[in-house]
Amino acid sequence: MITELNHKDETVAKRIRTVFQASYAVEAKLLKAENNFPPLQRPIDEFIKTDNSFYGFHQGVTLAAVMEIKEDGDSAHIQSLVVDPVFFRKGIASKLLGFLFENFDAKIFTVETGAENGPAIALYERFGFTLMKKWMTEFGIEKVRFEKR
């Protein structure tokens, strides 16, 4: 079940951050960036204070995945799409993307990920995203930006 999460509530924000930490630890290893991976350093107050929206996929009472969306006019940017590693390879990320396309009236959808994150890239390409840009970050991580119109 997918529901909007009240990230302004500290208890909910902590649950969101727990999923982020578990998922991003796996991505950091994929990108060989365990020592300096900005998403793993995101403090709880940034979850609470952001104006972005959060949507959670629940497996029973467990928060299994979270999608963070930043809306800006006619566009929706997937700020984060994280799945707890316990729930990898169960189609949950696909369900969250389906939810996004069904419930957001954006003309442009964008997302960024690490250039070495093969599973994420395959997912976005499967959903019709097109590679738009590749660059090196100040943290030494190569990133890619995808867009879907």
Read off the pLDDT band of 139 (50, 70, 90): confident
How many CB atoms within 10 Å of residue 45? Answer: 10
Mean pLDDT of the chain: 96
pLDDT exceeds cutoff 90 at 35 = no
Cα–Cα distances (Å) from 74 to 52, 77, 79, 102, in that order, read 15, 10, 16, 15
Domains of the chain, earliest start first:
2-148 (3.40.630.30)
pLDDT given for residue 47 in this prediction: 98
Distance (Å, rounded) from C-alpha 24 to C-alpha 42?
Answer: 11
